[in-house]
Amino acid sequence: MTDLALIETKFEQFFNAQPQVMVHSPGRVNLIGEHTDYNEGFVFPAAINFGTWVAGSKTDDNQVHAVAMDYDDQTNQFAIDNIETDNSTPWANYIRGVYKVLKEAYPQVGGAKLVITGNVPQGAGLSSSASFEVAILKAFRDLYQLDLDGVQAALLGQKAENTFVGCSCGIMDQLISAMGQEGKAMLLDCLSLDMQHITVPESLSIMIINSNVKRGLVDSEYNQRREQCEEAARLMGINSLREADMALLESNRIVLSEVVYRRAKHVITENQRTLDMYHALSKGDIQNVSKLMAESHASMREDFEITVNEIDYLVNIVSDVLSQQGGVRMTGGGFGGCVVALIPKELEHTITEVVESAYFDHTGYRPSIYICSATGGAFA
């Protein structure tokens, strides 16, 4: 049975009727531009062919009833006029948070029956949560015929995560999940929300290697990085690090702690690398792609300090095989998760073999390797 058939069957089993809507929203891989989004900078992600499916129908009982297929069919129910966090079922807080901010913006939204499933590896830095949020928003848009576009949906998803779930994330993940285009990566200006989509060259595969290192303390480390960036901007007298360049940073070095200086340096240099990467990929300048991704990884390792040894090792072994015929770096928020590599198609097999034979021996973790394609977003 396909995923769609499975979710439909599950819906019928729980709610004795066919779902009125069936929606999907993708996860994402970020090619470059890490921790730049909440600094009003640039990011360069692509939506991927892993995502979340939601089957839904309206109800008139002022309740939301949800079933999570990926959590052994756990259920969760809440009244739409009294929404609080539920620590016993953390997955449901994404629905609760999204519903709460949606209801504030669209008071006409009522109850729903929902069944959810997905195949984005969780906690791997591939935006399983943004994909979940955007899928829920799309289901409610379709059920209640809301005038809600992809950018508005992304902003609501981010708001839910910031105010309800407790992660001070930026806008990248929700926006690419909503607005990605098939076969393309998206340069996003996180200040203006201007989007430019460019085709990923046919000759390159997007390979994602999951280190399978369980990410610990992600939210607290993430929120701390954001605070450090905001402190840097405040001490330099600017609104966000988007406004800074290296000359401004150097002239303010004396007022910044050594750690805050390095955090800001990562963001300032990463913004420039992201713009450069967009141009390099547009021109098919793979040597430059390779250099920029290597510099991005080094900056995340040395200045932003969000990589772990297993991820650094993966980047090193893939980079040795590639020798500038492609690029590789950690992708996502950090502290474990995945590496993304843009590789010539003919090296897929060799890199898979190298990673499978070396990574386990070196780290004790089994890698998971996915060859992905860039897909369309939920609202595109």
Residue 303 is a catalytic residue: no
Q: To the nearest whole angstrom, how small is the minimum distance from the Cβ of residue 127 to ligand GAF?
A: 6
Range list of H helices, 163-257: 172-179, 218-236, 246-251
Q: Pattern 4-33, binding to ligand GAF, x per CB under 6 A?
A: --------------------------x---
Q: Cα–Cα distance between 85 and 199 in angstroms, integer? A: 41
Q: To the nearest whole angstrom, how small is the minimum distance from the Cβ of residue 94 to ligand GAF?
A: 13
Nearer to ligand GAF, 181 or 331 (CB): 331
123 is in an annotated binding site: yes
310 is in an annotated binding site: no
Which of 7, 31, 32, 34 lies at the binding interface for ligand GAF (CB under 6 A)? 34
Q: Pattern 98-127, binding to ligand GAF, x per CB under 6 A?
A: -----------------------------x
By the rule CB under 6 A, 270 interacts with ligand GAF: no
Asked if 371 contacts 206 with a C-beta cutoff of 8 angstroms, the reply is yes
By the rule CB under 6 A, 332 interacts with ligand GAF: yes
Nearer to ligand GAF, 123 or 367 (CB): 123
CA atoms within 13 A on the CB side of 157: 31
Query: Nearest Cα to 173, choosing from 122, 126, 119?
Result: 126
Q: Cα–Cα distance between 306 and 163 in angstroms, integer? A: 24
End-to-end CA distance of the chain: 27
125 is in an annotated binding site: yes
Asked if 236 contacts 230 with a C-beta cutoff of 8 angstroms, the reply is no
**Those residues with Cβ within 8 angstroms of residue 233's Cβ, 6 or more apart along the chain or in another chain:** 39, 239, 240, 241, 243, 244, 264
Which of 169, 204, 314, 378 lies at the binding interface for ligand GAF (CB under 6 A)? 169
88 is in an annotated binding site: no
By the rule CB under 6 A, 37 interacts with ligand GAF: yes
**Those residues with Cβ within 8 angstroms of residue 26's Cβ, 6 or more apart along the chain or in another chain:** 47, 48, 49, 50, 51, 120, 131, 177, 180, 375, 376, 377, 378
**Those residues with Cβ within 8 angstroms of residue 246's Cβ, 6 or more apart along the chain or in another chain:** 265, 268, 269
Nearer to ligand GAF, 7 or 372 (CB): 372
By the rule CB under 6 A, 173 interacts with ligand GAF: yes
Q: Which residues pair with 331 in a beta bridge?
A: 338
124 is in an annotated binding site: yes
By the rule CB under 6 A, 157 interacts with ligand GAF: no
Which of 172, 207, 280, 315 lies at the binding interface for ligand GAF (CB under 6 A)? 172
Alpha-carbon distance values, 287 to 100, 244, 271, 322 (Å)? 47, 28, 19, 10
> Which range of residues in 165-173, 193-201, 251-259, 339-347 is near ligand GAF by CB under 6 A?
165-173
Residue 163 DSSP symbol = I
What are φ and ψ of residue 213, in 5° steps? -80, 125
Point out the catalytic residue in the list 3, 81, 142, 173: 173
Annotated binding residues for ATP, written as ranges, equal 123-129
Annotated binding residues, written as ranges, equal 34-37, 123-129, 161, 222
**Catalytic residue numbers?**
173
Annotated binding residues for Mg(2+), written as ranges, equal 129, 161
Residues that bind ligand GAF (CB under 6 A): 30, 34-35, 37-38, 127, 169-170, 172-173, 332-333
